[in-house]
Chains A and B, each alone.
Chain A
């Protein structure tokens, strides 16, 4: 490690490391030494954290590849098999409900995001561009949905849903998932709209565009990356939601997050099947998240941190 890493070994901030080199003195040598020890410690801490962070993922993938005889062992040495995935997906022995749950997740999440976009984009634009009475109230009402304990709404909603026939339907799920996706869409998109200078639309108006044309042809294309990021993030959160489908569906509209729990319920639990089901349910949000890493900070903080 010694001298070669010396420029990198300064702790705290990378910037001061680029300062003009000090004349070699015993003091700076001592500091460099302490720096490289600190660097070693920092790397060790990082490795430890990421071991902790990835351990459950590796475990569940390994478990999903074990056959029935091996699933009740902690061994790492086993012959991997894909038969659990085949069983969960119902390949071979006539159909499985997992695929149906998966499609229900897909339908409810996609539907929820589309509804949120349709309703949320105009509201976000209005909140970003106009000062009007009640706009802050609207924004904070939406935000309070994000923080309210879901059960407050679920019980009355369950009663209403039973009465009007929305219980256990995709449409009912799309409606209730607005609690998850709508605050996200409106708050994040407002921050994207606010980033654009208002002169942009004014210039377009001077060029003879109508307000609507200016929005559709100038503003919307510019926030397209933001909209894409919001779409994916809202989809992820809708997909990962558990409590709404858990309490408001029982079969037809049940999603993968709920079905994973049902796998655990039987009297003969097949851990390897639970694992295979979980791995497949985790993949879509994970893949989507990798596409929007750039906007993740802004998205997760509801536009409060620009990142």
Chain B
């Protein structure tokens, strides 16, 4: 009650106290969240500090080694191979998801009967745990029991061997990722399409603009901020994708699908070389961080321009 009396002519000290309390209020409300952040940042910084040690299961009393881990990893061909696989996977998967997702959204936006029916089941793959999706696809792709071999053979392709070849493993990893996350891009693009103003499209129709022209000059530019939100989420996720690749190929065959996340897992967990694994992870984190900063800045500029600021 006391704070509400600030409206009435107050007693000498009352408003000052309540004002100070008022200024403190947002901080008090955020204290638990800040503590939680601190609780998570502590292991993070601990992890970063481990990159300057030679910490491993066989060396539980680690010594400071400075930048030796970074030097060693940046000089190794495994790291760069792994970085290339990471970028290839992330770009291919994000690209495929974006194109498919926007395409599906455009088709669903026509609001045909069949589209309305499909829209209800659109999100099914997205709600399947990625690791379970990877396992489902692993079984689906197995030549002995999966349905992909008969389908592929029906179209006359011979010598199907699942994810046994390096190229096939990468292609299928991208396909599985796209299977899960295309609906993500699609529902965001669809929400964007449905919120676009109608009048420019009516004007374009009156002027007799063709479908492709309307799409390229009108739909796409207006939809772009929405698509960009989806692209940012997908690119960040795909750069650090673990579940799909681990469940489907575990990084193989050989190192064909060994992304940085898988390399770090192998180093840190399988071989118990913690410092080395963390250095991999830190480098990936830095990459993700820089890319996300650039993309978010670009998105903000785009949104500000759209809002006319």
| A152 x B36 contact (CB < 8 A) | no
Q: Which residue of B lies closest to A147 (CB)?
A: B236
Pick the contact of B145: A56, A72, A144, A156 (CB < 8 A).
A72
The answer to whether A150 and B128 touch across the interface, beta carbons within 8 angstroms, is no
Docked complex Cα distance between A42 and B204 (Å):
21
Tell me how many residues of B have a C-beta within 8 Å of chain A. Answer: 107
B30 and A275 within 8 A (CB): no
**Closest residue on chain B to residue A288 by CB atoms:** B127
B123 and A289 contacting across the interface, CB-CB below 8 Å: yes
Contact B179 A53 (CB under 8 A): yes
Q: Which of A213-262 contact B (CB under 8 A)?
A: 236, 239-243, 247, 257, 260-261
Shortest Cβ distance from B24 into chain A, in angstroms?
9
* B29 & A46 in contact (Cβ 8 Å cutoff): no
A145 within 8 A of B: yes
- In the complex, chain B residues 101-116 whose Cβ is within 8 Å of any chain A Cβ: 103-104, 107-112, 114-115
Expressed in whole angstroms, the minimum distance between the Cβ of A305 and any Cβ of chain B is 5
Q: Does A200 count as interface, using CB distance less than 8 angstroms?
A: no
B163 to chain A, nearest CB (A): 14
Find chain A residues with CB under 8 A from B129 CB.
Answer: 239-242, 257, 281-282, 285
Query: A54, B136: Cβ atoms under 8 Å?
Result: no
What 1/0 mask marks residues of chain A from 41 to 54 whose CB sits below 8 Å from any chain B CB?
01101110110111
Residues of B within 8 A of A71 (CB): 145
B 172-186 contacts with A by CB, 8 A: 179, 182-184
Residues of A within 8 A of B104 (CB): 46, 49
Report whether A122 and B285 are in contact in the complex, using a CB–CB cutoff of 8 Å.
Answer: no
Tell me which residues across on chain B come within 8 A of A239, comparing CB atoms: 129
A97 interface residue, CB < 8 Å from B?
Answer: no
Docked pose: A175 CA to B112 CA in angstroms: 46
CB pair B34 A149 closer than 8 Å: no
**Interchain CA distance A227-B191 in the complex, whole Å:** 21
Q: Name the B residues within 8 Å of A135 (CB-CB).
A: 26, 30
A19 lies within 8 A of B202 (CB): yes
Residues of B within 8 A of A132 (CB): 23, 26-27
Of the candidates A19, A129, A138, A179, the one whose C-beta lies within 8 Å of that of B40 is A179
Residue A91 CB within 8 A of the other chain: no
Alpha-carbon separation in the docked complex, A148 to B269 (Å): 18
Flag if B201 contacts A13 (CB, 8 Å): yes
Flag A184-216 by CB within 8 Å of B: 1 or 0 each: 001000000000000000000110111100000
Q: Which residues of B contact A82 (CB under 8 A)?
A: none
Q: With an 8 A cutoff between CB atoms, is A118 at the interface?
A: yes
Most chain A CB within 10 A, of B48, B110, B205, B240, is at B110
- Min CB gap A11→B, angstroms: 5
When chains A and B are docked, how far (Å) is the Cα of A186 from the Cα of B195?
A: 25
Is A106 an interface residue when CB atoms closer than 8 A count as contact? no
From the candidates B29, B219, B229, name the one contacting A125 in the complex (CB within 8 A).
B29
Q: Apart from A12-B201, A74-B149, list 13 A-B contacts with CB within 8 A.
A: A13-B205, A16-B202, A46-B115, A50-B118, A118-B32, A142-B33, A145-B37, A150-B242, A151-B281, A153-B44, A153-B47, A155-B50, A304-B229
Give B residues with C-beta under 8 Å from A. 1, 3-4, 7, 23, 25-27, 29-30, 32-34, 36-37, 39-41, 43-44, 46-48, 50, 100, 103-104, 107-112, 114-115, 118, 121-133, 135-140, 142, 144-147, 149-150, 179, 182-184, 187-188, 190-192, 195, 198, 201-202, 204-206, 211, 214-215, 219, 226, 229-230, 233, 236-237, 240, 242-243, 247, 261, 264-265, 268-269, 274, 277-278, 281-282, 284-285, 288-289, 292
- Pick the 7 closest A-B CB pairs, nearest first: A16-B205, A240-B129, A123-B33, A130-B26, A307-B191, A126-B29, A122-B29
